[in-house]
């Protein structure tokens, strides 16, 4: 019976040893995968760092105090601007240009040098369009 008990214990110990080996193999594989993942992340971070390093150097060279001072001056100047008056002036200029009688101008200039006059009228039309765009953009910026 002792030999039978001995064989039974040996089988149990072999099973326990096989189980322990399996757990050790699984643990070793997981540890190896974690190390590979860490190495992959390290390489990716180095690549990202190489791309970001020039940007960080440029950001470090920026004179923050100068930027803050410039922004403060801009804010001060914008606070002193009378936007209502500027918009009103633009509207008056656009209205005055809209009131021009193009047909009367055309009949008055029929015998004149039309090339130079065409360029002047083209410039005038461009100025009217520019003023209208400025008025629209000021209105869009300040919610008018």
| Continuous segment of H or E residues that includes residue 137 | helix 114-141
Q: Where are the domains of the chain?
A: 1-62, 64-141
Residue 136: partners with Cβ closer than 8 Å, 6 or more residues away: none
Which spans in 1-113 are helix H? 2-61, 64-80, 83-98, 102-108
Residue 61 CA to residue 84 CA, distance in Å, equals 40
The owner of tokens 């209502």 is: 84
> pLDDT 10s digit of each residue in the chain, 144 long?
688 888 899 999 999 999 999 999 999 999 999 999 999 999 999 999 999 888 888 888 877 888 788 888 878 877 777 777 778 888 888 888 777 777 777 777 676 666 777 788 888 888 888 888 777 777 666 655
Residue 67 CA to residue 75 CA, distance in Å, equals 12
> Cα dist. 11→4, 22, 23, 76 in Å?
11, 16, 18, 89
């Amino acid at each position: 019976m002792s030999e039978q008990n001995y064989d039974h214990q040996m089988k149990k110990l072999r099973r326990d040893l096989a189980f322990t080996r399996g757990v050790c193999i699984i643990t070793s594989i997981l540890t190896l995968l974690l190390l590979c993942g860490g190495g992959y992340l390290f390489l990716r971070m180095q690549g990202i760092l190489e791309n970001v390093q020039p940007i960080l150097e440029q950001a470090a060279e920026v004179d923050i105090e100068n930027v803050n001072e410039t922004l403060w001056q801009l804010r001060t100047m914008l606070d002193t601007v009378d936007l209502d008056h500027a918009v009103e002036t633009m509207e008056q200029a656009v209205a005055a240009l809209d009131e021009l009688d193009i047909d009367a101008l055309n009949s008055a200039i029929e015998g004149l040098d039309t090339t130079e006059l065409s360029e002047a009228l083209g410039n005038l039309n461009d100025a009217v369009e520019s003023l209208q765009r400025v008025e629209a953009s000021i209105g869009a910026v300040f919610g008018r």
